[in-house]
């Protein structure tokens, strides 16, 4: 996986003119190269680059090439949430604004609840240190969407911290 990601990082600059041209033309024609590059950018860690393509692709309802077998919004949400989880598992930072932008771009899109739950979980876990109330809201939403998303202990921990903080006047 790491070798593939590295190869994609090397190849992506070659596709930049294609992407810029497709987006600048703004015709909304189906473009499998553009959609593949969106996914490659996620794989290569260029999340904002992928979201730039998604921002163009979603309103035009561009679809992923057949081999991906998921909708564009589902692919985007699942891949970005998985990247955030990998970063968390590896104790590496992940830019919360990526998840927030992904959520904003896809909130009106139809997808499986389990996929959307993954995004809410990762958002909530990243929000916990700075905004426990927002974290609790996202984790609660994740659980409501998919009760097996794995946030019960996190919700309990945050509720207890908020209660203790309120009791101590913090």
Query: What is the SS3 string spanning the chain?
Result: CHHHHHHHHHHHHHHHHHHHHHHHHCCCCCCHHHHHHHHHHHHCCCHHHHHHHHHHHCCCCCCCCHHHCCCHHHHHHHHHHHHHHHHHHCCCCCCHHHHHHHHHHHCCCCCCHHHHHHHHHHHHHHHCCCCHHHHHHHHHHHHHHCCCCCCHHHHHHHHHHHHHHHHCCC
State both tokens at 116.
């959307």
The per-residue pLDDT for 143 is 98
The per-residue pLDDT for 154 is 98
The per-residue pLDDT for 165 is 85
The per-residue pLDDT for 148 is 97
| pLDDT tens series, the chain, 170 aa | 889 899 999 999 999 999 999 999 989 999 999 999 999 999 999 999 999 999 999 999 999 998 888 999 999 999 999 999 999 999 999 999 999 999 999 999 999 999 999 999 999 999 999 999 999 999 999 999 999 999 999 999 999 999 998 887 65
The per-residue pLDDT for 168 is 78
**Which conformational region is residue 28 in: left (phi greater than 0), alpha (psi within -120 to 50 degrees), or beta?**
left
Nearest to 5 by CA among 51, 45, 34, 47: 45
Is residue 56 a contact partner of residue 20, using CB atoms and an 8 Å limit? Answer: no
Q: In angstroms, rounded to a whole number, what is the distance separating the alpha carbons of residues 1 and 21?
A: 29
The per-residue pLDDT for 170 is 58
State both tokens at 56.
């163009």
């Amino acid at each position: 996986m790491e070798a593939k990601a590295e190869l994609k990082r090397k190849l992506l600059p070659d596709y930049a003119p294609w992407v810029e041209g497709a987006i600048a033309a703004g015709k909304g024609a189906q473009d499998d190269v553009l959609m593949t590059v969106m996914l490659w950018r996620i794989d290569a860690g260029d999340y904002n680059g992928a979201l730039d393509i998604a921002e163009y692709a979603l309103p035009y309802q561009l679809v992923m090439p057949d081999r991906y077998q998921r909708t564009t919004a589902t692919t985007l949400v699942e891949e970005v949430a998985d990247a955030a989880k990998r970063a968390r598992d590896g104790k590496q930072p992940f830019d919360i604004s990526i998840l927030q932008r992904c959520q904003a771009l896809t909130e009106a899109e139809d997808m499986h609840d389990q996929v959307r739950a993954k995004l809410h979980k990762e958002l909530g876990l990243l929000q916990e240190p700075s905004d426990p109330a927002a974290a609790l809201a996202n984790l609660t939403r994740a659980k409501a969407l998919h009760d097996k998303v794995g946030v019960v202990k996190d919700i309990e921990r945050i509720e207890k911290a908020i209660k203790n903080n309120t009791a101590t006047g913090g």
